[in-house]
Amino acid sequence: MSDAVARPAAAFQGLRTWWTMLKISLEERLVYRGDFALGTLMRFLPIVTQVFLWTAVFGATSRADIGGYTRNDIVAYYLLTMVTRAFSSMPGLAGGIARSVRDGSVKKFLVQPVDYVSFLLAARVAHKLVYYAVAVLPFAGVFFLCRGYFPPVPDATTIAAFLASLVLSFLLGFFMEATLGMLGFWFMEVSSIVFGYMLVQYLLSGHMFPIDLLAGVPTGVAGVSLADVVRWLPFEYTAYFSSAVWLGKVRGAELVRSLAIEAAWVVVMAVACRIAWRRGTRRYSAFGG
């Protein structure tokens, strides 16, 4: 068979394999529908706390806005952040990879014609699809009840950018955590590293507060604020960025540039994940399993 025929055939076979893995993962996830439903409802409790907190903050000041955010903006921001985090968060991914390396179960991916990273990606896509199917009604209900906090629906271009940012946030979150899990090839225990990562990610992603609030915090370098430093990192694209897009905080050329940077971070982390996997499996096989 010539290369011109073999390459498309191999690509088609790879796609079929990935689709099969996705269907199997979906069937596995659907077994735990009750757990997904309960977890979805529990996710809404923190937003209630945030509403009360920021209502108290604005009630204690005479200012109409803080860092360019009104009280309504803040509530809308946190609701949108929940949506972004639903895409970018990968609970248990890094720990699961490290555990499979530690207990030896990763070895089956070294002898079977199944790519480990592709398998993990299919499993996470299945996880998100089931989660969204369960969460769509509760999310719709909460957003409907809180519709008074939101500005008018943005234009079609902004909505398209928002959706693109969500897809990119999913890929970025996946490859960042998968790369972290690959450290299990070099370290016996990565739980402390994962905890440190989660802490930094929570603080710098905008999940705790909008990154704009750091604009006035100096770094000691002339003309450079802490917000500028945070924006050099990929974390903001896992929580802050999508919310800011919907609220109109990022527009025009800045929006295009930010989407390009987010896509670039996805490529960087995907390459890093592949490199970690290849070098890790070489190291792993060197010990004989």
3-state class of 205 per DSSP?
coil
Q: How far apart are CA 205 and CA 177, in angstroms?
A: 14
Q: How far apart are CA 194 and CA 111, in angstroms?
A: 28
Chain centroid to CA 21: 21
Average pLDDT score over residue span 14-38: 61
Asked whether the beta carbons of 208 and 118 are under 8 A apart, the reply is: no
pTM for the whole structure: 0.82
Asked whether the beta carbons of 224 and 214 are under 8 A apart, the reply is: no
For the stretch 161-188, pLDDT in tens is 999 999 999 999 999 999 999 999 898 8
Residue 288 has pLDDT above 50, yes or no: no
Q: Which two tokens stand for residue 188?
A: 């016996």
Average pLDDT score over residue span 182-206: 89
Q: How far apart are CA 123 and CA 128, in angstroms?
A: 9
Average pLDDT score over residue span 204-210: 87
Q: How far apart are CA 271 and CA 288, in angstroms?
A: 26
Residue 47 has pLDDT above 80, yes or no: no
Average pLDDT score over residue span 228-248: 91
Closest CA to 127 of 170, 184, 98: 170
Q: What is the pLDDT of residue 226?
A: 82
Give residue 289's pLDDT band: very low, low, confident or very high (50, 70, 90). Answer: very low
Range from 45-54, 105-114, 242-251, 264-273 carrying the lowest mean pLDDT: 45-54
Share of the chain above pLDDT 90, in %: 31
